[in-house]
Chains A and B, each alone.
Chain A
Amino acid sequence: MGHDTHVQEKSVAQYEYDRRKNAVEMRKQVVNFAIMILFTFIAFAVVIADFSPYFIKPIILLLAGVQVVLQLYSFMHMGEKKAAHIGIINTFVWMGAVIAFTFFLAFLTIIWW
């Protein structure tokens, strides 16, 4: 939208439809938030319940992973195909993830005490 585009008035029906669409989207975000809170509760609960660490560690890492995916794709709009430069953003995020993985690999295998 440049300086030559004009302000467009929405029709009443379109306006009301958009308002309802925004409200439905917001309700989905609240559901996502409820899932995150639930996962946080489960993560703390399994640690307090004192199961075997070999069982707890993969579970809480998995729960953290799901929470992060929810944040990135629902709260931060990474999944929106129509967002500006979304291809560039995805490329950068995945490159960041690859570099991050290299750090973990290097630090955890090379450094010892």
Chain B
Amino acid sequence: MDLNTKFTPQSWPDHAEQATMEGKNKFVGIWIFICSDIVLFASVFATYLSLKDKGPAGMDITAAELLGLPLAFVMTMLLLTSSLTSVYAMYHMKNYNAKGVIIWMAITVLLGLGFLGLEISEFYEYTVHEGFGFTHSAFSSSFYVLVGTHGLHVVIGLVWITGLIIRNIKRGLNLYTAPKFFAASIYWHFIDVVWVFIFTVVYLMGVLG
């Protein structure tokens, strides 16, 4: 079976994304990358927790005063929903519906862009209006490194998925393109996993003080 073999819905294999050696390798490769990312995020999370509300004398901005819940709630909903839309894309991939994959991946990108826009406006609000810049205190540095590293992952994911959509919009589905979409969707879910911890540990527990 060649990578460029043309399929029909009837001949499309059950686990097309892992039908080739390359597909299997992509699957284990994205997971090993994610495990290294777990360690990266653990270090910035631990740094944030140990430096929360700490800073030089006179540092008077604490997490409880700074952070607001409504925006964090909307961001959480956007990212959670984008996780579901990429599951829909994988569902259409199983049914050999290339158009469905592209459409749902595009919706995922739009929701991710919404999340990113809200995060940028939040950072702008904190730095410009609250005077809570990156160099303001140990707390501000650790906050921006943690939430910013996650934001950077979102940017990379958006560029990646947009690139996949543009490159594969006319190619359709085959054993060469299916693993690419699958790896991107796994990565996108991981971004969501990290955000679940960020909204719990940074926003919800931050508001508690």
Tell me the A residues contacting B by CB distance below 8 Å: 1-3, 5-10, 15, 18-19, 22, 25-26, 29-30, 33, 36-37, 40, 43-44, 47-48, 53, 56-57, 60-61, 63-64, 67-68, 71-72, 75-77, 82-85, 88-89, 92-93, 95-97, 99-101, 103-104, 106-108, 111, 113
Contact = CB atoms under 8 A, between A and B. Distances in A.
Contacts of B95: 19, 22
Nearest to B207: A47
A63 B200 contact: yes
A75 B157 CA distance: 17
B24 A113 contact: no
B139 to A, nearest CB: 10
A15 B47 CA distance: 52
30 contacts: A7-B1, A7-B7, A22-B94, A22-B95, A29-B87, A36-B80, A44-B73, A56-B204, A57-B208, A60-B205, A64-B196, A64-B201, A71-B196, A75-B83, A75-B189, A77-B186, A84-B28, A85-B27, A88-B31, A88-B32, A89-B32, A92-B35, A93-B35, A95-B35, A96-B39, A100-B42, A104-B45, A107-B49, A113-B54, A113-B138
A71 B23 CA distance: 21
Contacts of B9: 15
B31 A93 contact: yes
B189 A60 contact: no
Interface residues of B, number: 65
Given A89-B32, A96-B35, A103-B45, 16 more contacts: A15-B9, A22-B94, A44-B73, A47-B207, A53-B208, A53-B209, A67-B196, A71-B83, A76-B186, A84-B23, A84-B28, A85-B28, A103-B42, A107-B46, A108-B49, A113-B51
Contact of A2 (B1, B36, B199, B204): B1
Interface of B: 1-2, 5, 7-11, 13-15, 18-21, 23-24, 27-28, 31-32, 34-36, 38-39, 41-43, 45-47, 49-51, 54, 69, 73, 76-77, 80, 83-84, 87-88, 91, 94-95, 138, 175, 186, 189-190, 192-193, 196-197, 199-201, 204-205, 207-209
